[in-house]
Structure 1
Amino acid sequence: MKSLAITLSFLVGLAVLNAATAQDSTKTLNAAQVMELVRKFHPVAKQAGIHIDKAQADLLIARGGFDPVLGAYVSRKRFDGTNYYNRTSPEITIPTWYGIEVHSGVDNYTGERLDPTMTKGQSAFLGVSVPLARDLLMDKRRAFLKQARIFRSLADTEQRLVLNDLLMDAMDAYWQWVSYYNQYLVVQANVAVNTQRQDFVRKSLLNGERAAIDTIETLAQLQSFQYQQNQYLLEFRNAGLQLSAFLWSDTGEPYTLPDTVIPPADWDNTQNIKDFDLDLASLLSAASQSHPELRTYDFKLRALDIEKKLKFQELLPKADFRYNHMSKGYNALASAGEYAIFDNNYQYGFKFEIPLRLSAGRGEYKKAQLKIQETRLGQMKKQLDLEIKVRKYYNEFNILKEQIDLQSLNYANYQQLVKAEEIRFSNGESSLFLINSRENKALEARQKLIELKTKYYKTAYALQWSAGLLN
């Protein structure tokens, strides 16, 4: 009987040693490597980069509103043998930031029947157009450019948000994969031990040392473990397929994770998360100040504030003033300084209009205010949701740490019970049934410990994710 206990202890150690040796000769994949692959090659991560490029293109479009514009007007009329007029008028307009436009051009009028308001021959002008009410402090060009700059920064923040969520999904798949593999390893070791045990019992039966019922007992236990082994192998391979959805090659092709790639042997080493921020106050501060989902609200509010200022302009009357200084010939400054601006060689125009009820302006301005109010309420709710989420994962993380310590002790106790039952069995005071029962309990405790550990590390990543730090 003592030889059976010694043999079983040897077989357990041999099964564990074989599993470790097999792992050393196989390629491994850790969480940091998965995250790096997702960042570099996942299509969603690349799409986030494209959104940044599109925002940069929109910014370039908005800057186009301040590009100088060169234009020309050429016309001629000849009728019934009479040359009425020939007109050539090139002009350049330069927009400035405060709504003022500087323009300069030349005119060349010839013909027999010119409009009396036209200056015959060559002349040049240099002038400005100034909005005196509406569009003075804000106009569409300035609003679009300011918003384009905000949306460019928003695109960076949205990229962080996308990566934060994408990496968390990848970590969910990864730790599920790790869990199933280690569950498979544990059951595989039990299968190896019970296979050797069955062979030992059969030889003992042939030598007349064991009853025939003991072979059935060992066979039933072995078949139970073999069933679990096949089930966990299936779960491990399917989890590998789920993880493969996040792994892409550098050429942009989907990558299927081979069955020969496994988690590292030190997957449960706490040094793997030593660089994580696990302080509650620090996490809450990070979530409040820099979480990409909250930052998007900041950018949206800034853009809406610009929209509100633009809509306010619609409540103001439109009053535009245009002034040109004129000179004979093609030198617009030829007569500069000779006369006061409203004394000679000038042209000006003034235009004024205002809707009597301002219905559209008041409605648009009210709508802009309501959008800001709506967004602020959403921001407040989101901030509370994020704080609750951080606290929830923080509580779960600390409780899991305690649960792992308890379960480790529980597993150690079951191991001692198995050894004690083997000693009793060797003294003729127990049976294979009781050994198997103790062994099943020890296996369940070990499996529960693996589940707790993988959930512990998944929660560590979820804690970083909830604070917006997983990118």
Structure 2
Amino acid sequence: MNYLLILLTIFLAAPVAGQQVPVVLSESDFLALVAEHHPLAARAELQRERSQALLREARGGFDPKLYGDLAQKYFKGTRYYSLAEGGIKVPTWFGVELSASYERNEGYYLNPEHTVPENGLFAAGLTVPLGRGLFFDQRRAELQRARIYQRATVVERQLQLNELLYDAGSRYWEWAGAQGAVRVYAEAMELARTRYAAVVSGAALGDRPAIDTLEARIVVQNRLLGLESARLDLANATAALNAFLWLEGVIPLELDEGARPPSPDSVVVGIPAPLPAGLENPGLLQTRLKLDELEVDERLQREQLKPRLDLKYNTLIAGGPAWSPERFSANDYKWGIGFSQSLLVRKERGKLQLIRIKQSETQLELAAKTALVEAKLAQAENEAAATVLQYALAQRNVDDYARLLAGERELFGVGESSLFLVNSREVSFIEASLKRLELMVKHRKARLAMRYVAGLAIPTPAGGSLPNE
């Protein structure tokens, strides 16, 4: 039955999948699909829910708590004692714990200290940590850690999503470059076949030497080898791209056979707009938040150096059906004080020293990461700027080689050029076209790297374009 449900889900989802992936797949459309449906993107969203759960758990440390206790002893028909107590305790942010309780004790052998009025005894008071825990304690530390973790999960989500989209974007441009290479070789292949047919016809009529047919056939074979190699690269690039296409993070999708990127001529290759000020790499933010968490640990551990000195005070009021303010007396109370302190405090001082060592290590890690991020950003900016000029030169080469090739073909058609020269011009034109595609891919990947390293979320507007274009 489970297999039938899975198959039914796949069949029902198939029409939706076809609508999800357009035939002409732009970069922004592809990244939007990845950000919306990839399992890692869904996992990144779960981090936010995890942080909310941890924050709720930490806030639970300040929840009021009800308690109750009943102890009785009967032996040979005699009730030795019956001790009953119940109440509520309310911890506060300032370390003071408020409490209220009701106690009713009876029995033939009741301990005198448990003796209470006939209608029971009410108590209301507080517990104040005068030493350790007055300014900071475990409950407040857990809540601060949860808030830091909540901020950290936002950064973690951005980091995971940026890594996913950067990787997906890189695979997209490799796929686009492979598509372009197949088109270049396919056009060259058709030209070589057409020329081969013309040379064979010319040789049959005696207009061309027979040796030209052999050379023309070798050219066709070489072009076919290049085309098959380009098709293999495209198949591998398509497989890598398909790994990023999912439906709701559950059903893997595949590109249609006719799917293609926009024409290379429509791809923007230009100096990127300056990145917005105030951006910070998510990896650096993670390390800064780690320092914030260590600061919480240090503050909590400093509290452990103080002696434990807890003061308890409760005012007592006798129970009864008709209570009035006159029954309250300042002379009815119970109080206590507790004290403890290690004489050498070696354990506490050792833990504090370890935390401070971790802080120093994390600060050094932050400095190293900062330098690395700045270097990577400079490299990406340099590559993005340099490939603009390189691409312009490559485009000019393509245009010039195209004119040379057109002229050589005209000369060959009237018998004033050789097959060798025409093939040489075509090889140069193919190499220039492939170099232009290579620089286009390199430039677009450099633009992605700039945004990724800078910590700017890679844009994914469906049907739109990159903001810095």
Matched ranges for 1:306-455 at <5 A: 306-329=296-319, 334=324, 338-340=328-330, 344-426=331-413, 428-455=415-442
Report the residue type matching 1:87 in the other structure: L
Q: Closer, same or farther in 2 for the Cα pair 1:410/1:336, shift >3 Å?
A: farther
- Give the counterpart of 1:290 among 280, 294, 311: 280
Aligned residues of 2:42 and 2:249 also touching (Cα < 8 A): no
What's 1:113 paired with? 109
Q: Secondary structure at the match of 1:270?
A: coil
Matched ranges for 1:184-263 at <5 A: 184-250=182-248, 252-263=250-261
Whole-angstrom CA distance in 1 between matches of 2:456 and 2:233: 30
Aligned residues of 2:180 and 2:264 also touching (Cα < 8 A): no
Deviations 1:385-421 (A, max 9, x none): 1111110110111111111111122222222322333
Q: Secondary structure at the match of 1:355?
A: coil
Q: Please state how far the C-alpha of 1:142 moved relative to its aligned partner.
A: 0.8
- Give the counterpart of 2:136 among 113, 130, 138: 138
Aligned residues of 1:168 and 1:470 also touching (Cα < 8 A): no
Instruction: Provide TM-score, normalisation by structure 2.
Output: 0.88
Report the residue type matching 1:230 in the other structure: E
Report the residue type matching 2:304 in the other structure: E
Whole-angstrom CA distance in 2 between matches of 1:32 and 1:105: 64
Deviations 1:192-243 (A, max 9, x none): 1111111222222232222211211211111111111111112111110001
Aligned residues of 2:23 and 2:259 also touching (Cα < 8 A): yes
What's 1:18 paired with? none
Q: Please state how far the C-alpha of 1:338 moved relative to its aligned partner.
A: 4.8
Q: Does 1:54 align with 2:27?
A: no
Report the residue type matching 1:309 in the other structure: R
Whole-angstrom CA distance in 1 between matches of 2:366 and 2:265: 38
Could you tell which deviates more after superposition, 45-54 or 251-260?
Answer: 251-260
What's 1:72 paired with? 68
Q: Secondary structure at the match of 1:93?
A: strand
Q: Secondary structure at the match of 2:456?
A: coil
Q: Does 1:304 align with 2:302?
A: no
Aligned residues of 2:35 and 2:41 also touching (Cα < 8 A): yes
Q: Secondary structure at the match of 2:252?
A: coil
Q: Secondary structure at the match of 2:251?
A: coil
Whole-angstrom CA distance in 2 between matches of 1:113 and 1:423: 124
Whole-angstrom CA distance in 2 between matches of 1:337 and 1:451: 93
Could you tell which deviates more after superposition, 198-207 or 181-190?
Answer: 198-207
Q: Please state how far the C-alpha of 1:113 moved relative to its aligned partner.
A: 1.8
Q: Which consecutive residues of structure 2, in runs of 5 or more, have no partner in the other structure?
A: 1-21, 459-469
Report the residue type matching 1:310 in the other structure: L
Whole-angstrom CA distance in 1 between matches of 2:303 and 2:363: 23
Q: Secondary structure at the match of 1:74?
A: strand
What's 2:95 paired with? 99
Aligned length: 435
Could you tell which deviates more after superposition, 91-100 or 54-63?
Answer: 54-63
Aligned residues of 1:328 and 1:334 also touching (Cα < 8 A): no
Q: Please state how far the C-alpha of 1:263 moved relative to its aligned partner.
A: 1.0
Whole-angstrom CA distance in 2 between matches of 1:79 and 1:337: 37
Q: Which consecutive residues of structure 1, in runs of 5 or more, have no partner in the other structure?
A: 1-25
Q: Secondary structure at the match of 2:40?
A: helix
Deviations 1:243-268 (A, max 9, x none): 11111113611112232211122564
Aligned residues of 2:51 and 2:146 also touching (Cα < 8 A): yes
Q: Secondary structure at the match of 1:365?
A: helix
Aligned residues of 2:54 and 2:146 also touching (Cα < 8 A): yes
Whole-angstrom CA distance in 1 between matches of 2:111 and 2:32: 74
Matched ranges for 1:22-41 at <5 A: 27-41=23-37
Could you tell which deviates more after superposition, 231-240 or 250-259?
Answer: 250-259
What's 2:450 paired with? 463
Q: Closer, same or farther in 2 for the Cα pair 1:322/1:35, shift >3 Å?
A: same
Q: Closer, same or farther in 2 for the Cα pair 1:401/1:331, shift >3 Å?
A: farther
What's 2:39 paired with? 43
Whole-angstrom CA distance in 2 between matches of 1:97 and 1:350: 21
Whole-angstrom CA distance in 2 between matches of 1:265 and 1:232: 17
Aligned residues of 1:69 and 1:94 also touching (Cα < 8 A): yes
Whole-angstrom CA distance in 1 between matches of 2:24 and 2:454: 29
Q: Secondary structure at the match of 1:234?
A: helix
Q: Secondary structure at the match of 1:439?
A: helix
Q: Secondary structure at the match of 1:137?
A: coil
Could you tell which deviates more after superposition, 372-381 or 354-363?
Answer: 372-381
Whole-angstrom CA distance in 2 between matches of 1:206 and 1:44: 64
Whole-angstrom CA distance in 1 between matches of 2:29 and 2:321: 69
Q: Calculate the aligned-residue CA RMSD, in Å.
A: 2.1
Whole-angstrom CA distance in 2 between matches of 1:408 and 1:417: 14
Q: Closer, same or farther in 2 for the Cα pair 1:337/1:155, shift >3 Å?
A: farther
